[in-house]
Amino acid sequence: MSESLIQKRAEVQGLATAILLPSIDILDESGRLPVRRVGPLTQVVGIGLFQRTVLTLQRAGIRQLIVLVGAEEDQLKHALGKGPRLTIPVRWMPIREFPLDDSRTWESLAAESGGFCLVSGVRGVFSRQLIEHLRREVQDGQVMLVARASTVWDQQERRLGLRVTAEGERLLSLGSSRQDDAALIATDVVVLPSNFISAAGRDGIESGTVPLRRWLERAAEVGCVRVLSTESNPTQWYQDLRDPADVQLAERKLFSSLKGEYEGFVDRFFNRKLSRWFTRVFLAFGFSPNAVTLVATGIGLISAACFAFGSYQAGVIAAVLFQLSAVIDCCDGEVARLTFTESPFGAWLDIALDNVVHMAIFVGIAAGSYLRDVGHEGAWVPLALGAAAVLGNALSFTLVNKAQRIKSASEWKTPVHAAWSDFMLKNVASRDFSVMVLLFACIDKLEWFLWMAAIGSMTFVAVMLWVLRPSAVTRA
């Protein structure tokens, strides 16, 4: 489901507001935050935990944020002001003025949240898909509690947690216990209907307590709490953060969740495995996604120049450099997604420079093959093939851009043409041919690759013209 459809459906159902409580454990009635070595400002892949939480919520479609904050208000405001741009309104409510054991605080929150509100602490890292799933699943009169599976690490460390007992998705009870017998552990993410908050607040709140756990227990008694386990879908994950070891686990999950929109077999099972190591280096040195794109482009152009020498040794070195360029070309998107710095210009620059490199590679291989055959009959053939490959690549770039514009505007004439377009973009328009270049270089048959590139690119152009023409006529 596209992000626009998710947002439209969520707006009807009303989950557009999130309430963050970075200073407390929201399901601990005492309102204490356990002493930990991880806090709201702890860096997770180069971004503070509080900032990452806010930006993830924004990316998932939350349109309003309320922060019930303690003494660290200035620090959190400063952290949020740095880095990627925040586009949703944030209201800061100091706990000293809006105590959590005062029903008026919750009535005010209910009034501002519309139909539903997501209440979360800042003690974990979660995926955007988890929040999108919650926004799709909200139902009138239903409370939702996110739970994660108990892990071997939990059991070995004997961590305290809030055990969730459920029958299917229906919450039966909550209980604090060691993790030995706990199948599900409550996270700090809860979705509450605003009318539920108002009604529960009017019933009174015990002085000095945070009411959320008690509200969940009372709602469970009447069967209106739904438990959503993060184990049901690997993309909807939550990682609790208590110590540096958990930070490393969260970073691994973030890296594992990275995937481009159009990836071939080689990208998925080879390039992406290596690119994560380079991405860590680029993040450590503070490279922007566009800077990483330029690094990949520079290596690709050096590779093209090496191909032009025409010798076997230069061809192998050039092919290895081209494969390295393909690996690093995965890093710009990874850096952008991890640091929330994606931009339309960055996406266009990546695609445009990819095609510049590809055309330079065709020219370099053609020039090198010509130099090896110069003076012999048919020496012109590599030049003709190189020209055909460059022309096909340029036309393919134009047609792919057109297809993506039609897809964004949902203007495909028939589902068949839309399916063909997706198939072509996902399975043909990829970087997988870098491995073919390396193979042909090793067996000293780079001119064979020129034949494949020329025929393949022109075939791609012909198919895309067939796919695009009906939609282009419809648009006209």
> What pLDDT does residue 152 have?
62
Statement: the pTM of the whole predicted model exceeds 0.85: no
| Residues with Cβ within 8 Å of residue 344, at least 6 apart in sequence | none
Give 355's contacts (C-beta < 8 A, 6+ positions apart): 393, 394, 397
What distance in Å separates the CA atoms of residue 376 and residue 465, rounded to the nearest whole number?
37
Q: Indicate the SS3 state at residue 285.
A: coil
Distance CA 6, CA 310 (A): 53
Tokens of 193: 């209907």
Instruction: Give me the pLDDT at residue 226, please.
Output: 93
Residue 44: the pLDDT is 92
Which portions of the chain are predicted below pLDDT 70? Answer: 1-13, 29-36, 152-160, 176-182, 260-265, 408-414, 417, 420-431, 470-476
470 contact partners, CB below 8 Å, separation of at least 6: 413, 414, 417
Look at residue 473 in the predicted model and tell me its pLDDT: 44
Predicted pLDDT of residue 271 = 82
Q: What's the CA dihedral at 78, 83, 84, 87 to 10 degrees?
A: 20
Q: What residues does 66 pair with on adjacent strands?
A: 19, 91
Whether CATH 1.20.120.1760 fits 258-475: yes
Domain spans, the chain: 3-254, 258-475
Alpha-carbon Rg for the chain, nearest whole angstrom, is 27
For 18-37, the pLDDT digits (tens) are 999 998 888 876 656 555 67
pLDDT confidence of residue 411: 62
Return the pLDDT at 304: 96
For position 325, what pLDDT does the model report?
A: 94
Q: Indicate the Cα dihedral angle 187, 237, 128, 89, nearest 10°.
A: 10
CATH architecture of 3-254: Alpha-Beta Complex (3.90)
Instruction: State which H helix or E strand residue 12 sits in.
Output: helix 3-13
Q: CB-based contacts of 269: which residues, under 8 Å, 6+ apart?
A: none
Query: What is residue 176's predicted lDDT score, i.e. its pLDDT?
Result: 64
CA distance 102 to 82: 33
**Helix/strand/coil for 191:** strand
